[in-house]
Structure 1
Amino acid sequence: MATEEMPGLSYELVEASQPRRQTLRMPLKILDPGRSKLTTVETKRIISVLDETIFKVELVSTFSHVIDNLEEFSPTLGPELTGALQEHQRLSNVMEATLAHLEEEGMLQKGTCKGVVYGAEDPAGHLALLTQGLRGSVRNIVRLFYANPVACQAVREIAHARHPANSHFIKCLSDLRGFLFERLLTTPLEEKEKRRFLNEISQRDKKNTEMIAALEEELAAAIQNRDDEISRKNATIKDLKARLHNLAKCSESQIQRLRTDTEKQQKAELRGSQAKCSKLQQELNLLRAQLNALITEDRESELALRKKKYKVEIEIENWVQKYDMEMLEKQEEIEEIEAAYMVEKEHLEELREKFALLDQEYSQIKEERRVKQEQKEKAEKELAILVRAATLIQALWKGYLVRSLLRSKRKKRGRGKKGARK
């Protein structure tokens, strides 16, 4: 039964993986820091302090070797550094002698606590003075090394002469520096995104593992069913062989026929079972290939997304810089406009005062013009009346002249007609 249900399960898994391609396309390189350089002053200071600490530890860890071979290094170190190292050796010897003396007298308990010897009874206070002197000597030697780059480089080149514990300590500091640098490069948003991505990868891996385990269980069940079927067939064969053995005396031909049929049936069922197992194995290989293809596809899309993210960040930085520059220019323009506005405002006040005076004068002039205009209109009306009267008089006079002329012509015509009749 398990072998018959297997193909349907594999198809469902393949179909379910299609939408996950669209939703889970996070690149694997999201685990890397989003930036390559520190941007804030605080983070740069932290890394700078840690680098300086590692540098000082590298210098201090070589003091014993340099002191043991002081004659060899003295030409490179110079007289001042050589004297400081000799003084440091003297203080170290005095400290060792003092500690040995206190230990012999039972006034010292071996051990240190944060670099300070504890459990010692030192009424005179020599141990504290020696400790303070050694600290000052180390600070002085480090300061002199800072002032002498050649000697500093020569001492750093003898890293092989360090004690293994010192080398291990320096390596731990360097690892701490790398870890801290990576953490400082990662923003809280990127850290949250990284955790979310790891959680998704873990869930996907868990689901794929469960899927493979289920397929393997079904494959094992199918193999077990095949083995059980073969066992049952073998038991049947044995039973048939026993029966054939009992019936051998009765019918040899029947026994041979049954044996042949049984073997054929066994081979056919074995071939069918092997075919089903091969099909299940092919489906399992197909699912594994699909899983590998999904992982490869995610890795390929990661680079494109990474480049796109980097390009967007560069564009954002450019736009921010451009915005800042434009804001500065706009601020300067605003200040210039405000200054011009104040000047114009003062000028406007002056113009308003002048306008008030001019408006008053204009009102007076306007009133005078109105009076003159009324007088002019009155004179024009009177003139129009006179002109009209003159026009009427002229019209009447012309009419009178025309009528008089017509009368005289009529009289002349009447006289002419009378003379012709005579």
Structure 2
Amino acid sequence: MMSSPSLATPLNKNRTADVKPIRLQLDPIRLHEPARSKLSTVETQRIMVVFDDLVQKMELIEMLPVIVSHADLFKNVIDTETMNEVYRHEELKQAYETNSSIRTISNIIEKLPQFENYTRRFDQSLSYNANENIAYHYYIQQSIRNVLRRLLQHNRFDAVKLILKNNNLLPPPKDLMRVLKMLRDSAMERFLTTPLEEREKVDQMKNLNIRLSSNEAVIAKLEKELSDAVAERDAEVSQTLGIFIFLN
């Protein structure tokens, strides 16, 4: 029984010596695809939730005017109280765009859950129009928060988006939305890729670029050789044709 440890030790040493570092081998065709399918830490999951919430809220904001214009389509999806909040928000936004006085929309802003008489906070050093502009921004922020909270509270986003899509009413994404989605996808890819995999991607991209440059050089050389051979053949044909014509 005492001999087993002495026999096991050199065996383990030999095995350890034979072990080589494992290098990932990424398929060049799938070089840009993440190596994993799930986020590994709670922190990365939270970051992606923030991204998804932001994209979802931005999409909803773009949908609001269409929802108001086609309210009948959403009778079974959006309750009356929430729909009234959407109407009020659009009225508030329209009043701001037409430079209406804050006094003319007091019936709208007083119904906001976070209402406060913002005119009490007017800065005396600013003009009345500048103060009204600041107040409008405050009320619109509170209004859109209220609308988004109500629409997202009961997971209505997917149902609303599906109705718009089925009726060809889905608004085209703006540049900001495209940038946000690209940023979200880029972050997701980075979170699903380990540093080792990222380094291997960089190495493989360098190798591919080197191969591409080498292949381009070979192709250029072969094209030149082919062009020279064609030119030489054409010269020989022309010369033979000239001799044939001369002899006849």
Question: With structure 2 as the length reference, what TM-score do the two structures score?
Answer: 0.65
Aligned counterparts, 1:44-123, within 5 A? 44-70=45-71, 73-74=74-75, 76-98=77-99, 122-123=128-129
Task: From 128, 132, 146, give the equivalent of 2:134.
Answer: 128
Gaps of 5+ in 1: 1-24, 102-119, 243-422
Decide whether the 8 Å contact of 1:38 with 1:184 is kept in 2.
Answer: yes
CA distance in 2: counterparts of 1:93 and 1:223, whole angstroms? 73
Opposite residue 160 of structure 2, the aligned amino acid is: V
Opposite residue 67 of structure 1, the aligned amino acid is: V
Q: Does 1:148 align with 2:154?
A: yes
Opposite residue 161 of structure 1, the aligned amino acid is: L
Opposite residue 161 of structure 2, the aligned amino acid is: R
Percent of matched pairs sharing the same residue: 28
User: Which 4+ residue blocks in structure 1 deviate beyond 6 angstroms?
Assistant: none
Alignment match, 2:205: 198
CA distance in 2: counterparts of 1:92 and 1:161, whole angstroms? 21
Aligned residues: 197
Task: From 160, 172, 182, give the equivalent of 1:164.
Answer: 172
- CA displacement at 1:233 relative to structure 2: 3.6
CA distance in 2: counterparts of 1:36 and 1:30, whole angstroms? 15
Specify which structure has the bigger relative contact order, considering alpha-carbon pairs within 8 angstroms and separated by 6 or more residues.
2
Decide whether the 8 Å contact of 2:93 with 2:140 is kept in 1.
Answer: yes
SS of residue matched to 2:98? helix
CA distance in 2: counterparts of 1:217 and 1:93, whole angstroms? 68
RMSD: 3.2
SS of residue matched to 2:78? helix
CA distance in 1: counterparts of 2:197 and 2:81, whole angstroms? 51
- CA displacement at 1:236 relative to structure 2: 4.0
Opposite residue 180 of structure 2, the aligned amino acid is: L
* Residue 68 to residue 26, structure 1, CA distance change in 2 (3 Å): closer
Opposite residue 27 of structure 1, the aligned amino acid is: D
Q: Does 1:210 align with 2:217?
A: yes
CA distance in 2: counterparts of 1:67 and 1:26, whole angstroms? 50
Structure with bigger gyration radius: 1
Question: With structure 1 as the length reference, what TM-score do the two structures score?
Answer: 0.41
Decide whether the 8 Å contact of 2:161 with 2:170 is kept in 1.
Answer: no
* Bigger share in helix: 1
Opposite residue 143 of structure 2, the aligned amino acid is: S
SS of residue matched to 1:161? coil
Gaps of 5+ in 2: 1-24, 103-125
CA distance in 1: counterparts of 2:157 and 2:232, whole angstroms? 77
* Residue 218 to residue 121, structure 1, CA distance change in 2 (3 Å): same
* Residue 31 to residue 122, structure 1, CA distance change in 2 (3 Å): same
Opposite residue 55 of structure 2, the aligned amino acid is: I
